[in-house]
A and B are shown apart, each in its own frame.
Chain A
Amino acid sequence: MKRLQMGFLNFLTKRKTFPHGIHPLEHKELTAQLKIRRLPFAHRMIIPLSQHRGAPSLPIVKVGQEVVRGEPIAEAGGFVSVPMHSPVTGVVRAVNELVATPEGPKARAIIIETYAGSRQEVLFEGYRDIDTMSPQELVQAVQDAGMVGLGGAAFPSHVKLLPPEGKKIDTLVVNGCECEPYLTCDHRIMLEQTEKLIRGIRMVMKATGAQRAIIGVEDNKLDAVTQIREKLPADSGISCEAVETKYPQGAEKMLITSLLGKEVPSGGIPADIGVAVYNVGTLAQLGELIPKGRGLIERVVTLSGPGVEKPGNYLVPIGTPLRFLLEQVGAKCDAGEVILGGPMMGMAVASLDVAITKGVSGVVVYKPQEEDLKPRTVFPCIKCGECLSACPVRLNPAMLGQLAGVREYELMETDYHLNDCFECGCCSYVCPSNIPLTQYFRIAKAINREAKIIG
């Protein structure tokens, strides 16, 4: 019913949007009204060295070394890489320890034991005047802060500030869509950290030379739109637009199409059409950290889902073990499934010993008896075409699925644009035959990647 009303409103107000996509149940009411709160510090922090896209960070601390909250503990392992900062005041217990990750293979991490008596103040900082900093200094400052995309992609933020040779950024698209069900952390950030967000936007505009910035917010968060519009300075080149509530509106390419009516070339990046896209959470953190010269040591995480007793938006130190977090919000160990990120694109974890990393925007916990977790009979494809009308990049998932079934992975890539799929999960969501299409495509891509490496 709610969806019908929204659709009706969209028709009247003509919200900007993109073709195709789906309308999953949002479940955002669980946490949308809850203010961001802080949680206690965990006794043992796990800081994986590869929390971001690109090269892993290189540890610069030794076992037994005392570290202060906010102190750098690892440096960037290259240009597409970021440093790490200690989330707590404590002592380093291990460097290069192999720990569980949501992806599967174990990865190296620094383990820090928290000093129980510490006041956990951030002492490691250096105030700067961002208005006098040059664009190059800003880019360096963003990298030094260890900033990555907080929307989930965890791509190092400073890389996007420097477009490839010959490209120029003219428009900054600020992503406040938060189209994943359950997640409300960006919503809360837009409401509670509006000034920091605007500061971050101006900083990125300065660093990239962008003339204008457009904040795109789904129209299920109109309170955020109103608030941002009230606080926007005049003549700043920044505007805020409500877009249709539809999944995956928050996908970079979809939002660009909705707001600007342009398409990012297939296989290209937004910079190819002069656009840089940043998540509101990332920009609010930039607005907070860069002037103070601090590093990224905590982030807002939505803890929600039917299996959480105290759902909410929490400020979580990066490196907090998932098990500790779930204990704090009353999620029981008999949970049916724990998903890092949102339920559409997030990853179900196999172990609760993984850490909250920079890219984790939410944790969704399902109870074992949840309808979504029940096994479903997979029928053969009946070629209904639902996936074609759901796919936001207009692929032919049915065809791709059939090709995957007969292991024609190369043909999927050469003739049916497999690599344009960004795994949003719309096709699997609508498939009446319950075919796990998105999983097929992930497997196909992985096999193609391996085939290329082997030669």
Chain B
Amino acid sequence: MKRAVSVEQIMRNVVYALLPICGWSIYQFGISALALILVTTLSCILTEAFFNWMSDRPNSLGDYSVAITGLLLALTLPPGFPLWMAAVAGFIGVGLGKSLFGGLGYNVMNPALIGRAFVQAAFPVAITTCTPSFAPGRFLEFIPSSLALPFMSPVDTSDWVREHTIDSFSGATPLALQKFEHITVDTMDLLTGSVAGSVGETSALLIFVCGLYLAARKMMNLRIPAGIFTTTIVLTLPLYLMNPEVYPSPQFMLFSGGLMLGAMFMATDMVASPLTPRGLWLYGAVIGFLTVIIRLYGGLTEGVMYAILVANALSPLIGSITQPRVYGETRDGRGKGAES
């Protein structure tokens, strides 16, 4: 006898859950976002196919896991990110982060985040250049930086931004505004996503709902996001109450930047997260803790990516210290049978 749910079905449903987020980002940022999503997904798929061919492994594209990596990677990049850099991110993410470890099931860290971490280090300017959302004509023309030639620096987008926006656009994400200028963006804007930011991390509400779909289908474990949110709130609330001028409010922390996408779709990558129920809480708590520390005290505006990568690395350890208590095991950790 066998339950019907299979790996392909789980992975396909994750793709389904990501599609509305992609749709919203395309609506928000236009063809640049669409091109970015296509390029990263294609780059990831080709990389996996290439490594499968190199290592004589059977075709693994049918399990949809590499498509998830591609979509997720695009969602973490800024909309005007040069497409060739996005392709590099996809190659590094799947190649270094997944295929070299042995493919699906063997990756230590989330491949999409590996890709992003690489381009963050390699192209620090491009990855922090944000362009305004809902630019007029976004469905007809690319953001100029998108089309940079391979191995060429993208053109400066500030002129383009000035042309296209009525209001003065600072080019800063809500997190950067808060961190460096202490301007807090309205929570409502964060929820609906009418803010600047990476392609797919703007609408916290949409991401949350899509995540809930997966959880409802029992294809995602809600313990991880719950652990992340709880820790974030618990850590930031006292600081905020002490000094609201400097420290952001907990709701701002939750809904800004990549936290929602990270918590719902990145940290919940089954392969790189612990197995045990208690381990999942602990893993979430580690991510929440590191995110808050990096965001509030680090030099970066955004900490979710590194927080998840570090927690990924810790997850085998977390797993081994949170083994479940086996049925009939006595309190000193040994059952009757262990004596013999």
Residues of A bordering B, CB below 8 Å: 22, 24-25, 181, 253, 257, 263-268, 272, 343-344, 372, 376, 379-385, 388-389, 392-396, 398-399, 416-417, 419-420, 425, 428-430, 432-434
Contact = CB atoms under 8 A, between A and B. Distances in A.
27 contacts: A24-B3, A264-B328, A266-B330, A266-B336, A267-B328, A344-B1, A376-B2, A380-B102, A380-B105, A381-B105, A383-B275, A385-B270, A393-B328, A394-B324, A395-B326, A420-B327, A420-B335, A420-B337, A429-B3, A430-B3, A430-B5, A432-B9, A433-B6, A433-B7, A434-B2, A434-B6, A434-B7
Interface centre among A265, A372, A399 (most CB of B within 10 A): A265
B6 A266 contact: no
A432 B328 contact: no
Interface in B106-143: 106
Interface string B1-20: 11101110110000000000
Nearest to B326: A417
Dominant SS among interface residues on chain B: loop
Contacts of A381: 105
B328 A263 contact: yes
Contacts of A379: 6-7, 63, 104-105
B230 interface: no
B338 interface: yes
A394 B326 contact: yes
B94 to A, nearest CB: 16
B103 interface: yes
Contacts of A25: 1
A283 to B, nearest CB: 25
B1 A253 contact: no
Nearest to B223: A385
Interface centre among B273, B327, B330 (most CB of A within 10 A): B327
Query: What 6 pairs between A and B have smallest CB-CB spacing?
Result: A267-B337, A266-B335, A380-B105, A393-B327, A266-B328, A268-B336
A399 B272 CA distance: 14
Contact of B325 (A272, A394, A428): A394
A343 B2 CA distance: 10
Contacts of A432: 3, 5-7, 9-10
B157 interface: no
B271 interface: yes
B245 interface: no
Contact of A266 (B9, B272, B277, B329): B329
Contacts of B106: 380
Contacts of A383: 105, 270-275
Contact of B327 (A253, A382, A429): A253
Contacts of B337: 265-268, 419-420
A266 B104 contact: no
A266 B327 contact: yes
Contacts of A420: 326-328, 335, 337
Contacts of B9: 432
